[in-house]
A and B are shown apart, each in its own frame.
Chain A
Amino acid sequence: KNEVEQSPQNLTAQEGEFITINCSYSVGISALHWLQQHPGGGIVSLFMLSSGKKKHGRLIATINIQEKHSSLHITASHPRDSAVYICAVSSEASGSRLTFGEGTQLTVNP
């Protein structure tokens, strides 16, 4: 079993829909990261969080430390949100290193 599991693997939505991507992890963590990989391949960091909730524009990330679970929400989705969304954790054991989930491919149709 991977240390970081994402669901779903693939997600197709219509423009305007509310989207949720889930991430579960099995180790004690110091922080959880959400990243976005554009169709061209570039990877950017969206959020880093260790508790609670963060919001940036239409993106919201939440984490429940007790349940070892995080969600990434996209409100009013748009075709430009189409990308791979990657969850990663830095654990107490790994220190400066990240362990990555396999990613969720999101396609938003107009």
Chain B
Amino acid sequence: NAGVTQTPKFRVLKTGQSMTLLCAQDMNHEYMYWYRQDPGMGLRLIHYSVGEGTTAKGEVPDGYNVSRLKKQNFLLGLESAAPSQTSVYFCASRAAREGRETQYFGPGTRLLVL
């Protein structure tokens, strides 16, 4: 099993450009999450999904959109990138069942917006 994978690993964008980050998991997990990690701050939740076709806003959703058309994939979109979105982005997934709350993280995507 690959676990949680993220594509791409690294990207440089110019201000105003758009891009999509892909997260894929092969553990049949119901819940999926997108976080950003910035220096001096803890991981912050951008958006999350508790099942195929459902998404919800997290702590810092502005400037991002998400879609969960398939259970195994969770896409994070930046419609018009801004330098403030320079960050490391992590995807995570977990099972829905009580007692199985451990989150499994992807390797991260480093995004630089110039």
Contact = CB atoms under 8 A, between A and B. Distances in A.
B42 A102 contact: yes
Contacts of A99: 42
Contact of A45 (B33, B45, B90, B104): B104
Interface in B66-102: 88, 90, 92, 94, 96, 101-102
What is the size category of the interface that chain A forms with chain B? 20 to 34
Contacts of A103: 42
Interface stretch (A14-22, A54-62, A73-81, A90-98): A90-98
A33 B48 contact: no
Interface of B: 31, 33, 40-45, 48, 50, 58, 88, 90, 92, 94, 96, 101-105, 107-108
A48 B42 CA distance: 18
A41 to B, nearest CB: 5
Contacts of B44: 100
A52 interface: no
Contact of B45 (A42, A48, A97): A97
B90 A4 contact: no
B43 A86 contact: yes
A44 B42 contact: no
**Which of A4, A30, A99, A101 counts the most chain B CB atoms within 10 A?**
A99
24 contacts: A2-B42, A31-B101, A33-B101, A33-B102, A33-B103, A35-B105, A42-B105, A42-B107, A42-B108, A43-B90, A43-B105, A45-B102, A45-B103, A48-B101, A86-B43, A90-B101, A97-B58, A98-B45, A98-B103, A99-B42, A100-B44, A101-B42, A102-B40, A103-B42
Contacts of A98: 43, 45, 103
Contacts of A44: 105
